[in-house]
Structure 1
Amino acid sequence: MQAASVDLRSYSKEWPEERHAFVQIVVPLQGSMDIEVGGLQQRLSTSKAVLITGNIKHSIVTSDNNRSLIVDLDERYVTEATLERFCNRPFIDLTNRSSSIARHMRRSIHDGEHDSCSTRLWAELLVGSFADERADVASRLMTLKALIEIDPFQPWTVERMASEVEISTSRLHAIFLDYFDATPHALLADVRMKKICALLSGSSLPIAEIATRAGFSDQTALTRAMKKSLGTTPAAYRRNAIS
Structure 2
Amino acid sequence: MHADDSLSFRSYGCTGHGHRHAHVQLVLPLHGMLELEVEGRGGWLDPQRAAFVAPGALHVQQAQGRNRFLIVDCDASRLDDAQLEAGLQRPFFVLPPAARHLLSYVEQAAEGRAQLARALTRQVLPLLLDAVLAQGRQRRDGRLQALCERIRLAPGQDWSLARMANEAGFGLTALHAAFRRELDCSPVQWLQRQRLEWAQQRIAEGLLPLARIAQQAGYSDQSALTRAMRRELGITPGRYRRQLQA
Relative to the length of structure 1, the TM-score reads 0.51
Q: Offset at 1:120?
A: 4.1
Q: Secondary structure at the match of 2:122?
A: helix
**Counterpart Cα distance in 2 of 1:129 and 1:100:** 15
Q: Which of the residues 125, 129, 139 maps onto 2:134?
A: 129
Query: Identity rate of aligned residues, in percent?
Result: 24
Give 3-state SS (helix, strand or coil) of 1:20's partner.
Answer: coil
Q: What pairs up with 1:63-82 in 2 under 5 angstroms?
A: 63-82=64-83
CA contact (8 A) 2:29 2:68 kept: yes
Q: Aligned partners of 1:21, 1:84: CA distance in 2, in Å? A: 15
Q: SS where residue 25 of structure 2 aligns?
A: strand
What residue number does 2:43 align with?
42
Local SS of the residue matching 1:14:
coil
CA-based RMSD? 2.7
The equivalent residue for 2:157 is none
Deviation at 1:113, TM superposition (A): 5.1
The residue identity in structure 2 corresponding to 1:71 is V
On the 8 A contact 1:24/1:53 being kept in 2, the answer is yes
Measure, in 2, the Cα distance between the counterparts of 1:130 and 1:137.
12
Structure 1 residues without counterparts, runs of 5 or longer: 141-165, 167-243
Q: Give, in angstroms, the shift of residue 81 of structure 1.
A: 1.2
> What is the CA distance between 1:4 and its match in structure 2?
1.2
Give the distance between the partners of 2:181 and 2:108, measured in 1 at CA.
26
Q: Distance in 2 between matches of 1:107 and 1:139?
A: 27
Do structure 1's residue 32 and structure 2's residue 33 form an aligned pair?
yes
Offset at 1:94? 1.6
2:91 is matched with which residue? 90
**Distance between the aligned counterparts of 1:103 and 1:94, measured in 2?**
12
Q: How much does 1:135 deviate?
A: 6.8
Once the two structures are TM-superposed, the CA of residue 92 in structure 1 deviates from its matched residue by 0.7
> Would the alpha carbon gap of residues 60 and 113 (structure 1) be closer, same or farther in structure 2, given more than 3 Å must change?
closer
**Contact 2:34/2:44 (<8 A) preserved:** yes
- Judge conservation of contact 1:33–1:45 (CA < 8 Å) in 2: yes
Q: How many Å separate the matches in 1 of 2:48 and 2:6?
A: 22
Structure 2 contact 96–131 (Cα < 8 Å) conserved: no
Match of 1:53 in 2: 54
Structure 1 residues 79 and 12: alpha-carbon distance in aligned structure 2, compared to 1, 3 A threshold? same
Distance in 2 separating the partners of 1:119 and 1:80: 24
In the TM superposition, residue 104 of structure 1 has moved relative to its aligned partner by: 3.0
1:98, 1:129 within 8 Å by CA — same for their partners in 2? no
Amino acid corresponding to residue 57 of structure 1 in structure 2: L
Output the CA distance in 2 between the equivalents of 1:135 and 1:120: 26
Query: Larger Rg: 1 or 2?
Result: 1
Whole-Å separation in 1 of the counterparts to 2:107 and 2:83: 24
Q: Read off the aligned partner of 1:66 and give its amino acid letter.
A: N
Describe the superposition over 1:29-81 as per-residue Cα deviations: whole angstroms up to 9, x where unpaired: 11101110000000111111001010100001111111001111100111211
Corresponding position of 2:123: 118
TM-score (ref. length: structure 2): 0.51
Aligned residue for 2:83, secondary structure, equals: helix
State the distance in 2 between where 1:56 and 1:24 align: 10
CA shift digits 1:83-135 (9 cap, x unpaired): 11011000011221221222233345335154353254134323333425987
Secondary structure at the residue paired with 2:56?
A: coil
Unmatched runs of 5 consecutive residues or more in structure 2 = 140-177, 190-246
Match of 1:104 in 2: 105
Q: 1:114 to 1:90 in 2, by over 3 A?
A: same
Residue equivalent to 2:166: none
